[in-house]
Structure 1
Amino acid sequence: MKDLSIFNQFARKDESKSLRQAGNAVIYTRVSTKEQADNNASLDTQLKYCEQLAQKKGLDVVEYFGGTYESAKSDERKHFQKMLNFVKRRKDIGYIIVYSYDRFSRTGANGAYISDQLKRQGIVTISATQEVDTSTSAGSFQQNLYYMFSQFDNELRRDKSVSGMQEKLRRGDWTGAWPYGYTNTNPGKGKKPNFVINEKGKLLKKAFEWKAMSNTSHVEISKKLKRKGLDLSAKKLSDYFRNPFYCGLMVNKLIPGEVIQGNHEPMITREMFLKIHNLLNSREEGRKYNLDDENLPLKMFVKSTECGTPYTGYVVKKKGLYYYKNRRSGSRENRSAKKLHNSFMALLENYTLSDAKYIEPLKEIIEKTFIDLNKEQIDEAKVLNTKAAELDVKLDRLEERFVFEEISKVQYDKFKSKLESEKNKITELVSNSGFNSSNLKKSIDKALNFALNLPSLWQSGNIEVKRSLQFMLFPEGIGYDFKNDRLRTFRVNSIFTAIASISDKLEANKNGTFQNNFEKSRLVTTTGFKPVTAGAEIQCSIQLSYVAVYDANILLVLIKFLRSLDLSNKNNLVYNQQNTIILCCVWILICKTI
């Protein structure tokens, strides 16, 4: 049997997909930048050559894609992907026509891969200016070379561009979009930039100052800026606070590991930037606590007097009761959280002024210090109020002249509008300053009710307030004698030691439960005489506690505590102006020699 045609039915089928014989095609054109799309006729030229090729090969163009700007550095281009989806979905498209292969892709191997995948589906990519026969191995190889050369050309251009930008940065000139708060007064390609601080930058500078001077929260800074007309989110502020450009230095991913002195005007000093950096790194802001932390504020703060091991905590879920537990291996020291909290509040009672004779002198000291520390703001407020009063007089005089027909209605309306506009601006300045001393005495009374009633403040505060207060009073934590069920102090903030000494509280604890490191015999004036007034006694105590308190650790805790009380809601426990008073109270104890 010599005729084998009968066996053709057993021959293996060609699994490779043949090219579509349909004479339908799509055209894809593009340029890389918007400037190219707007300022030259490249797109028209590409379209012209592509249509000529289609006519030459007898192809029907059924759709046009691109016709705009999109970089070929990535193949995730919007119009490019739209074109690919179209030809894959349609079964009658056999060709994609481009002006040159670099218009199709500049990704090298990835561009060749896409062409190969299209070819497997019967779709051929052809170029109007680089015609090759992709049906042969040599033609496919040549097409892939075009893709590789396009990628190579891209990388050469990038290297040249990056080298230029690196040198520009090393000369101290910023490249790219300039940071917020600055304006380039000499824009243009190839020109030396000249960055100056604009009006928004002046307000942003205040944000840096608020953060550095009082560690104000990002949210509160954002609110203060908004009142002044600058809308910046807390997230944006966080980014700006971490950018060394604002202190005159430049860092950039193009020059990794390098810090360059910039030619631009710094917005803040390097010292201020580093101070803010340290505050941010301390991670005091935005710390999250879980429910167990809220119910166990003394966790890791209380330590065993026997072994020094800190107490942790746990909850009996069935009963919903919390307990503290010594974390020492094998220890069976467990104590009810409620009982330990009551003991701690009893301890706080010993560091609260109880004698009423000291309250009034302390109020006078706080008021005087508050006025001294805010002298500049008070003077500014006086000037503004004086100007407002002068404008009121002018408005009255203007109305009087109009009534007696000394001026016309047109003149009256014109000058009234002008004067009222000036007054509104002054009123807004007074309002935006956030300073109001009219109810100072009332605010001091309210603040002292909190500051001098530590148990109530600790009990009603959230976890941040509780822990800040704990470490402010007892920087090294407190000890717990489990056998005798007693709390013992290791080191007490000297301010509150002085308060306890004045209050005569510690004398009642002769059994050693509380340590009094403050000698009452030292309560003498600087001239050696015994104080004759309550005010002098308080002032002398402040003097004696000044040196002991002035150390970085206690200051850090004090600042954290005061900031934790900075609540924006006036209905909350403590409110902004009262915080200022408390700050003055602590500030005078730390930084003043009265």
Structure 2
Amino acid sequence: MSTAVLYIRVSTDEQAIKGYSQRSQKERLIKFCQLHNVEILDIIFEDYSAKNFKRPAWSAMMVRIKRNKLFHPDQILFTTWDRFSRNIGDAYYMIAQLERLNVRPQATEQELDFAIPENKIILAVYLASSQAENERRSISIRQGIKKARQEGHWTSNAPFGYSRQFSTTGKKSVVIKEPEASYVKSAFGLLAEGGANTKSVYDKLKFLGMECSISHFWRIIKNPFYCGLVAVPGSVDEKPHLADGIHQGLVSKLLFYKVQDILDSRKHRTFISPKKETLLFRGFLYCPICNSKLTGIASKGKSKHYYYYHCRSKCGFRVRAERINDLLFLELAKLTADKPYADLYKKVLKTIREEFFEEQSVTQRSFSVSIDKLIGRVLKANELLLKGEIEAEDFRLIRNDCEKSISLIGLEMDRVTSAMKENENSLNKSVLDFSYPGRLLDKLELPDKIKLLTLMLVDRIVASSEPKIEDITNDTVRLIYNLSSLKISAKISYENRVKNDDFNLVSRICNLEFEKETAIDDDLAIKVGDFLENYAKLTIKVLS
């Protein structure tokens, strides 16, 4: 009489999709053993995928066969070959391992005699069919997930601060869950202020009652789901991207990306060499002798390096970088924006940051609603206590939980209120940074300094001992900063002026110049509008 172990495997999705049953497999295998006079040594049940052999029950069985001399079956029986494996390579490797142990795998409903070479071809068909089915199902699942993500649906477990909810029609959705959502809002708000590091923000929120690990907290503050976006996985012909989600975000996109910029700047903070900072105008300066573009060099002195703008041509011109820089900075310091443009710039800046201001207003309203709900919950619990429907201990737990949440929301309301007041102050500072560009230039990091200079300067500046502001700045800057040397005359009809309150930047600029009795064409007005918007984006980086 031969001996056998019955291996019964079914994965959760197979039970749901195809109705596979462990009981059914067991009955068929036992019946086969009775008909063929096979002694059953053990019955192994597995609830795991067959994409590989890293399965708990299978691994334990193999260890037992290798180590226990009293447990050595002649066969491992299963109903069909897809119960054994859905991967051709893994299947042949496992069959070879079993043969070395003198154990023969066999499917009772797809019996094969391995002594017949042609049967190995049939085995390959069985295994290939199972693997193809598995891969096709995997592709279908991935496509379904991608399609759902493209439509804004969240296909994974509800993130921290949200919970799953079923509608009356049975559809799943994610909804905001308190107090976790307030912790997330506080995290982004505190990080956006820039003063506190990530660990200190995490410790503060954990002290207030947030329950998550530091690694989970890092995943939270990097997850675009919280600003209303859903990550769509990539494919062969498409890169991963973000889609607008149908769920309600906890923070604005502006706030989320501001936090990402702060986190990235801390992660990738690099030392800027004195050479790069000292040779700031390299790329703008040209030789006064041969008109070639100047490069930068460093010359080693007794105690330090000295930097020069240097011409590579035969003329050999060079000039101390520090001297030219000081002359150019002195000229830029003379710029003072025309007041009408300063007022227009403030409107542009507010428009760009409108989403952020709206986020703060919505947050204030949501905080008030949340506090009202928590107070109502305490009052309701007190009413139930008086009626004797809940115990005093239950009431204390409810009250303490609500008081903790109210305390957290109160702290967050104070922070947001302070931030809103500070925002108005920072706007006024930003207008000063626009009116006097030298102020902003001092505050910016090196890459942004170069961006600002590119916005303001002409392409070619002759390295002169007496540079003039009118010669080094472009038409846009000369118009905005009211340099007397700029004379523009162009015909413009009264009908082209702005006759309504719509914020059309180009029309506003044309209208502004018309009122100054200076007419400009649309091309220059567009350049001025672009300048104002790009300048505002640089200013936002240094708002404090």
Q: TM-score, normalised by structure 2?
A: 0.52
Partner of 2:453 in structure 1? 470
Work out whether 1:105 is the aligned partner of 2:89.
Answer: no
Work out whether 1:479 is the aligned partner of 2:479.
Answer: no
Could you give the per-residue CA deviations for residues 533-591 of structure 1, whole angstroms, max 9, x where no partner exists? xxxxxxx99x869969842144213322331x14xxxxxxxxxxxx3xxxxxxxxxxxx
Partner of 1:124 in structure 2? 104
Indicate conservation of the 8 Å contact 2:227/2:256, yes or no: no
* Distance across 2 between alignment mates of 1:169 and 1:295: 48
* Distance across 1 between alignment mates of 2:474 and 2:50: 68
Partner of 2:10 in structure 1? 31
Partner of 1:491 in structure 2? 473
Partner of 1:126: helix, strand, or coil? strand
Distance 1:331 1:293, change over 3 A: farther
Could you give the per-residue CA deviations for residues 31-78 of structure 1, whole angstroms, max 9, x where no partner exists? 2128959xx9944665677788599555756xx87x443211345556
Distance 1:343 1:330, change over 3 A: same
* Distance across 2 between alignment mates of 1:438 and 1:292: 30
Cα-Cα RMSD: 7.0
Work out whether 1:429 is the aligned partner of 2:413.
Answer: yes
* Distance across 1 between alignment mates of 2:218 and 2:244: 26
Could you give the per-residue CA deviations for residues 103-133 of structure 1, whole angstroms, max 9, x where no partner exists? 2211235423442454366553234554433
* Distance across 2 between alignment mates of 1:90 and 1:24: 15
Distance 1:203 1:324, change over 3 A: farther
Work out whether 1:177 is the aligned partner of 2:134.
Answer: no
Partner of 1:71: helix, strand, or coil? coil
Q: In the alignment, residue 562 of structure 1 is paired with which amino acid? A: I
Q: 1:345 aligns with which of 313, 329, 334?
A: 329
Indicate conservation of the 8 Å contact 1:468/1:561, yes or no: no
* Distance across 1 between alignment mates of 2:61 and 2:181: 49
Indicate conservation of the 8 Å contact 1:107/1:151, yes or no: yes
Q: In the alignment, residue 104 of structure 1 is paired with which amino acid? A: F
Q: 2:535 aligns with which of 554, 557, 562?
A: 557
Task: Give the alignment of 1:192-591 within 5 angstroms.
Answer: 240=224, 264=246, 286=265, 291=271, 295-297=275-277, 298=280, 300-304=282-286, 311-313=294-296, 321=305, 323=307, 332-351=316-335, 428-435=412-419, 437=421, 458=441, 462-464=445-447, 466-467=449-450, 469-471=452-454, 474-476=456-458, 479-481=461-463, 489-492=471-474, 517=485, 550-563=528-541, 565-566=542-543, 579=544
Work out whether 1:151 is the aligned partner of 2:131.
Answer: yes
Q: In the alignment, residue 76 of structure 2 is paired with which amino acid? A: I
Distance 1:303 1:164, change over 3 A: closer
Q: TM-score, normalised by structure 1?
A: 0.49
Distance 1:375 1:126, change over 3 A: closer
Indicate conservation of the 8 Å contact 2:10/2:22, yes or no: yes
Partner of 1:350: helix, strand, or coil? coil
Could you give the per-residue CA deviations for residues 172-216 of structure 1, whole angstroms, max 9, x where no partner exists? 69584388688765469x955567777799989999x99xxxx99
Could you give the per-residue CA deviations for residues 201-232 of structure 1, whole angstroms, max 9, x where no partner exists? 9989999x99xxxx999x99999999899999
Q: In the alignment, residue 552 of structure 1 is paired with which amino acid? A: D
* Distance across 1 between alignment mates of 2:103 and 2:306: 72
* Distance across 2 between alignment mates of 1:75 and 1:196: 39
Q: In the alignment, residue 453 of structure 2 is paired with which amino acid? A: Q
Q: CA deviation at 1:497?
A: 7.5
Q: 1:134 aligns with which of 109, 114, 118?
A: 114
Partner of 1:72 in structure 2? 50
Indicate conservation of the 8 Å contact 1:348/1:455, yes or no: yes
Could you give the per-residue CA deviations for residues 332-366 of structure 1, whole angstroms, max 9, x where no partner exists? 5555444444334333433379xxxx99xx99x99
Q: In the alignment, residue 446 of structure 2 is paired with which amino acid? A: I
Q: In the alignment, residue 535 of structure 2 is paired with which amino acid? A: V
Which blocks of at least 5 consecutive residues in structure 2 are unaligned?
369-399, 488-511
* Distance across 1 between alignment mates of 2:64 and 2:475: 75
Indicate conservation of the 8 Å contact 1:162/1:254, yes or no: no
Partner of 1:106: helix, strand, or coil? coil
* Distance across 1 between alignment mates of 2:404 and 2:65: 69
Partner of 1:342: helix, strand, or coil? helix
Indicate conservation of the 8 Å contact 2:297/2:307, yes or no: yes
* Distance across 2 between alignment mates of 1:419 and 1:158: 48
Distance 1:165 1:341, change over 3 A: closer
- Identity over aligned residues, as a percent? 17
Q: 2:95 aligns with which of 115, 125, 132?
A: 115
Could you give the per-residue CA deviations for residues 502-534 of structure 1, whole angstroms, max 9, x where no partner exists? xxxxxxxxxxxxx86457xxxxxxxxxxxxxxx
Partner of 1:589 in structure 2? none
Q: CA deviation at 1:430?
A: 3.2
Indicate conservation of the 8 Å contact 2:331/2:467, yes or no: no
Q: CA deviation at 1:322?
A: 6.2
Distance 1:420 1:129, change over 3 A: closer
Q: In the alignment, residue 479 of structure 1 is paired with which amino acid? A: I
* Distance across 1 between alignment mates of 2:147 and 2:433: 59
Q: In the alignment, residue 327 of structure 2 is paired with which amino acid? A: S
Distance 1:552 1:130, change over 3 A: same
* Distance across 2 between alignment mates of 1:233 and 1:33: 31
* Distance across 2 between alignment mates of 1:433 and 1:79: 58
* Distance across 1 between alignment mates of 2:316 and 2:67: 73
Indicate conservation of the 8 Å contact 2:3/2:75, yes or no: no
Indicate conservation of the 8 Å contact 1:299/1:312, yes or no: no
Q: Matched residue pairs, number?
A: 441
Q: CA deviation at 1:311?
A: 4.9
Could you give the per-residue CA deviations for residues 223-256 of structure 1, whole angstroms, max 9, x where no partner exists? 999989999968766652799967xxx9676997
Indicate conservation of the 8 Å contact 2:287/2:311, yes or no: no
Indicate conservation of the 8 Å contact 1:112/1:144, yes or no: no
Q: In the alignment, residue 125 of structure 1 is paired with which amino acid? A: P
Partner of 2:87: helix, strand, or coil? coil
Q: In the alignment, residue 470 of structure 1 is paired with which amino acid? A: L
The structure number with the bigger radius of gyration is 1
